Amino acid sequence: MDMDRADLRLVVAVAEHGSFTAAAGRLGYTQSAVSRRIAALERAAGVALFHRDARGVRLTGPGAVLHRHAQIALQAMDDAAAALAAVRDGTAGPLRLGAVPTANATLVPRALARLEADHPQVDPRLREGGSVDLGRAVATGDLDIAVVFAVPVEPVPADVELVDLVRDPLLVAMPRGHRLAGAREVRLADLAGERWVQGTPDMADELFAVADPAPERVFRVREWTAKQGFVAAGLGLTVVASLAADGVRPDVVLRPLRGAGSARRVAAVLPRNAPSAAAARLLELLREVAAELDVAAGSLSARPRQPRRGTG
């Protein structure tokens, strides 16, 4: 027995009004059209769906079963349409997001918090990774949006676009008693002969590729908290992005790095054609937060970066 939405609505309307004539008026049909369609449904079902008498029509036992399921089915259809509309409008549904670790320190969580406040039915699913891998994931449709460094090692895929978000200056972390701790800023040449604590891979690798003489890499340490421990102990310096420089130990100071390669651009990667509405909304919020971070960074650029107390 095949039934469509119109059939289900017809069964519900006749049951609620107890009259073919009243149901026809509600749905915009003629009384004869309603009568014929109900008769056709009964033939297809092989049972009577309505009792007909002088007082009107009433559901039979099988008709009551159909009426109950018709109501459920119509509600499910309405719910599905509403959910689909919400996903289309960016107010609900999954959002597959990728981000480099630096962006996850400040930029991404602030934007996601605002998205959650505005649209709590959106379900962000975060994947952390490198710029190149995340860009590829957007290009293949595995991610809806990613936050990356604007100049990755490999070319950006042709079917995605980069939307510039914020400039991320690099900072040099050093012990409070270091010879450059009181400097307004430092240049790579000032750091000749220093020992370095780096991750694997590390943003300092690109800087050191052009350094002469090449600095001495002493320790490979991944986490920022651990790097600070090595720096505070006098075992080496490290480079940290401004966006990720929260929670600085009191015995570690940060100084702006100046010169070529001393800042990176952070950008959003989206499909070039038809990004999802939720991704487009998140992009708006990322740009909003990025503008605030840019202003804050500008206000600090004229003086040495002071440590912010954290858990260390």
Domain boundaries defined on the chain: 5-89, 93-167+263-300, 169-258
Q: What is the tens place of the pLDDT at every residue in 135-173?
A: 999 999 999 999 998 865 466 677 888 899 998 888 999
Q: Do 67 and 41 form a contact (C-beta atoms < 8 A)?
A: no
Ramachandran region, residue 143 (left: φ > 0; alpha: ψ -120 to 50; beta: rest): beta
Indicate if the pLDDT at residue 283 is higher than 60. yes
> Would 93-167+263-300 and 169-258 be classified into the same CATH topology?
yes
Mean pLDDT of the chain: 85
Indicate if the pLDDT at residue 308 is higher than 70. no
Confidence category of residue 307, pLDDT binned at 50, 70, 90: very low
Single pTM value for the model: 0.67
C-alpha 281 chain-centroid distance: 9
Between residues 260 and 113, the one the model is more confident about: 113
In the predicted model, what is the mean pLDDT of residues 197-208?
67
Give start and end residues of each alpha helix (H) in 233-311.
277-300
Quote the percentage of the chain above a pLDDT of 70.
86
Token readout for 228 is 């600070």
Confidence category of residue 215, pLDDT binned at 50, 70, 90: low
Q: What is the tens place of the pLDDT at every residue in 81-136?
A: 877 877 776 667 889 999 998 899 899 999 999 999 999 889 999 999 988 899 99
C-alpha 86 chain-centroid distance: 16
CATH number given to 169-258? 3.40.190.10
What is the DSSP secondary-structure string of 113-148? HHHHHH-TEEEEEEEE--HHHHHHHHHTTS-SEEEE
Confidence category of residue 303, pLDDT binned at 50, 70, 90: very low
| CA–CA gap between residue 286 and residue 80 (Å, rounded) | 30
Q: What is the pLDDT of residue 192?
A: 83
In the predicted model, what is the mean pLDDT of residues 15-32?
93
In the predicted model, what is the mean pLDDT of residues 230-249?
89
| CA–CA gap between residue 205 and residue 308 (Å, rounded) | 26
Indicate if the pLDDT at residue 64 is higher than 50. yes
CATH number given to 5-89? 1.10.10.10
| CA–CA gap between residue 18 and residue 66 (Å, rounded) | 15
Q: What is the pLDDT of residue 299?
A: 46
Confidence category of residue 230, pLDDT binned at 50, 70, 90: very high
CATH number given to 93-167+263-300? 3.40.190.10
Between residues 74 and 246, the one the model is more confident about: 74
Indicate if the pLDDT at residue 309 is higher than 60. no
CB burial string 36-60: b at 16+ within 10 A, e below: ebbeebbeeeeeebbeeeeeebebb
Lowest-pLDDT range of 107-121, 194-208, 225-239: 194-208
